[in-house]
C-alpha cells in the first residue's frame, strides 16, 4: 500500500473512533521552504519559495449546526467552538489558527458551515517550515469546499495572513500563506510580496533542494521577530526623509542606503542593509538557479547566511554548525538559512546525484559538533492547497 493510502487509512480510522462516522471531505495544505529572501516579505520585497511535500491534512464531515469541532493527531487536546462567537483559546492555542481563519472569513462576509475535523500533519512544528500557515490554509480550503464559497487561492493566502496577524497576534508577512496556497508542483516561485504575484522559476536540470533540520526548536515566542520588523520600518522611514519616493525597504537601492547610513542607528542600519542586499540576492538567485550557475548559487547563498548571522542576527550556534556541515558536504552547491531563523530548518541546493552522500555527511558532521541528530531530506516543489481525492 502506498504511503498516502496508509496515511489515509490511519486518519480515517482515528476519525471514526473519535466522531463515530466516516469523514467525507479531505483537504491538504503544504509547508514551504524559501531558497532566498529571509525577512524580505514584510518589507514588500521578493522571495524564492516552494511548497514542499510535507503537508497538513484535515479530514472532515459537515455538521448541520454552526459548530466546529477539531482534534489533531499531532497535538494533545481538541477544541469546540460556535461560529457565532469566536474567541481566543488559551487551552489549545493551536486551534486559534482555525478560529482565526473562521473569524476573518466571516468578517469578509462568507457564510460558513460547521464541521467535525481531524488534523494530521507531516510538517514538523516550530521548525520554520510553516506548519501554522499550512493549518490556516487547509482550514480555509475546507470552509471553501464545505460551503462552495467563491474564494480564490490568492484570497485564501491573504485572509490566512490576516488571521495570523489579527487573531493569533503574529505579525508575519505573506510568504508562508502564499506558498502554501499557491505552490506549483515542480517549480520554485519568485514571489513579489508587494503585488502578491509570482513567476515560476524552473530549476536547472540536476539540482536538488535539501532541507536540513537542526532539530533546535525555533523559539519565536519572544519579541525578536516584531523587533526586526519594527527596525525595518524605522529604516524605511528614516530613508524616506532623504528619498520621499521610498515606501518600504524594497524601494531602497544600496547606493541610497550607503549615502544615508550615518543617519541611521547602528542596529537599524544593519537590519536595513541585510534586507536591501537580500532582496537583490533573490533576483540574482532566480537567474542563477534557472541557468545552473553553480558558482553564483554558492556565493549568493553564503552571503545570505553571513548577512543573516552578522547583520540581521537571526542565527544560532546550531545553525552555524549546520552551515559548516552543509557547506563542506559532498555535492553541495549552495547552503543557507531558511524561514525566520533562530534554529529550525536550513536549506541546501545540491547535485541531485549526491543526495545520499550529502545527507549522511551532514548528519554525521552536525552530530559530532552539537550532539544533536539532524534530519535531512529532499524537498521537491509541490502543489499548493487543494481537495484530496482518493
Name the residues annotated as catalytic. Answer: 176
Comparing CB distances to ligand GLA, the nearer of 41 and 50 is 41
> How many of the other CB atoms lie within 10 Å of CB of 280?
15
CB 182 within 8 A of CB 154: yes
Minimum separation from the CB atom of position 264 to ligand GLA (A): 21
In the block, cell 511535500 appears at: 53
CB 294 within 8 A of CB 333: yes
Measured CA to CA, the distance from residue 144 to residue 389 in angstroms comes to: 16
Minimum separation from the CB atom of position 311 to ligand GLA (A): 14
Comparing CB distances to ligand GLA, the nearer of 38 and 71 is 38
Does 39 participate in binding ligand GLA (rule CB under 6 A)? yes
Does 15 participate in binding ligand GLA (rule CB under 6 A)? no
Q: Which of 390, 386, 388, 389 is nearest to 140 (CA)?
A: 386
Does 42 participate in binding ligand GLA (rule CB under 6 A)? yes
Spell out the residues 6+ positions from residue 295 whose beta carbon is closer than 8 angstroms to its own.
none
Does 70 participate in binding ligand GLA (rule CB under 6 A)? no
CB 212 within 8 A of CB 331: no
Comparing CB distances to ligand GLA, the nearer of 174 and 333 is 174
Which part of the chain contacts ligand GLA (CB under 6 A), choosing from 33-41, 103-111, 200-208, 372-380? 33-41
Q: Which of 35, 39, 51 is nearest to 300 (CA)?
A: 35
Query: Applying CB under 6 A, which of residues 340, 346, 350, 379 lies at the interface with ligand GLA?
Result: 340
> How many of the other CB atoms lie within 10 Å of CB of 1?
8
Measured CA to CA, the distance from residue 354 to residue 223 in angstroms comes to: 39
Residues 149-208 that bind ligand GLA (CB under 6 A): 172-173, 175-176
The cell for 380 is 521537491
- Report how many residues bind ligand GLA under the rule CB under 6 A: 10
Q: What is the DSSP letter of 192?
A: E
Which part of the chain contacts ligand GLA (CB under 6 A), choosing from 34-42, 105-113, 211-219, 368-376? 34-42
Does 210 participate in binding ligand GLA (rule CB under 6 A)? no
Minimum separation from the CB atom of position 149 to ligand GLA (A): 25
Binding footprint of ligand GLA on the chain (CB under 6 A): 38-39, 41-42, 172-173, 175-176, 339-340
Amino acid at each position: 500500500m502506498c504511503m498516502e493510502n496508509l496515511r489515509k487509512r490511519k486518519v480515517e480510522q482515528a476519525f471514526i473512533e473519535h466522531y463515530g462516522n466516516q469523514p467525507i471531505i479531505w483537504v491538504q495544505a503544504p509547508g514551504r521552504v524559501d531558497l532566498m529572501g529571509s525577512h524580505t516579505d514584510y518589507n514588500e520585497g521578493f522571495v524564492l519559495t516552494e511548497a514542499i511535500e510535507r503537508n497538513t491534512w484535515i479530514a472532515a464531515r459537515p455538521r448541520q449546526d454552526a459548530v466546529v469541532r477539531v482534534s489533531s493527531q499531532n497535538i494533545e487536546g481538541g477544541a469546540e467552538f460556535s461560529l457565532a462567537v469566536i474567541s481566543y483559546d488559551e487551552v489549545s492555542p493551536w486551534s486559534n489558527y482555525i478560529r482565526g481563519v473562521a473569524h476573518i472569513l466571516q468578517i469578509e462576509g462568507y457564510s460558513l458551515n460547521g464541521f467535525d475535523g481531524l488534523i494530521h500533519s507531516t510538517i514538523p512544528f516550530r521548525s520554520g517550515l510553516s506548519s501554522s500557515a499550512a493549518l490556516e490554509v487547509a482550514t480555509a480550503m475546507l470552509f471553501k469546499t464545505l460551503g462552495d464559497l467563491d474564494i480564490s487561492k490568492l484570497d485564501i493566502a491573504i485572509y490566512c495572513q490576516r488571521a495570523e496577524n489579527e487573531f493569533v497576534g503574529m505579525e508575519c508577512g505573506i510568504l508562508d500563506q502564499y506558498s502554501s496556497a499557491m505552490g506549483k508542483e515542480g517549480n520554485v516561485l519568485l514571489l513579489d510580496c508587494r503585488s502578491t504575484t509570482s513567476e515560476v522559476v524552473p530549476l536547472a536540470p540536476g539540482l536538488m533542494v535539501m532541507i536540513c533540520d537542526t532539530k533546535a526548536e525555533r523559539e519565536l515566542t519572544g519579541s525578536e521577530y516584531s523587533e526586526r520588523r519594527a527596525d525595518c520600518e524605522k529604516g524605511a522611514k528614516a530613508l524616506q526623509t532623504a528619498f520621499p519616493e521610498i515606501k518600504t525597504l524594497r524601494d531602497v537601492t544600496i547606493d541610497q542606503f550607503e549615502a544615508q547610513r550615518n543617519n541611521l542607528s547602528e542596529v537599524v542600519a544593519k537590519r536595513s542593509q541585510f534586507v536591501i542586499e537580500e532582496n537583490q540576492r533573490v533576483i540574482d538567485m532566480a537567474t542563477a538557479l534557472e541557468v545552473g550557475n553553480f558558482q553564483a548559487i554558492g556565493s549568493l547563498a553564503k552571503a545570505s547566511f553571513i548577512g543573516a548571522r552578522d547583520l540581521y542576527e537571526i542565527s544560532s550556534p546550531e545553525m552555524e554548525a549546520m552551515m559548516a556541515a552543509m557547506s563542506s558536504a559532498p555535492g553541495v552547491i549552495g547552503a543557507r538559512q531558511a524561514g525566520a531563523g533562530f534554529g529550525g530548518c536550513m536549506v541546501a541546493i545540491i547535485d541531485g546525484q549526491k543526495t545520499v552522500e550529502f545527507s549522511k555527511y551532514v548528519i554525521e558532521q552536525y552530530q559530532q559538533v552539537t550532539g544533536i541528530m539532524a534530519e535531512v531530506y529532499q524537498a521537491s516543489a509541490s502543489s499548493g492547497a487543494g481537495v484530496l481525492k482518493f
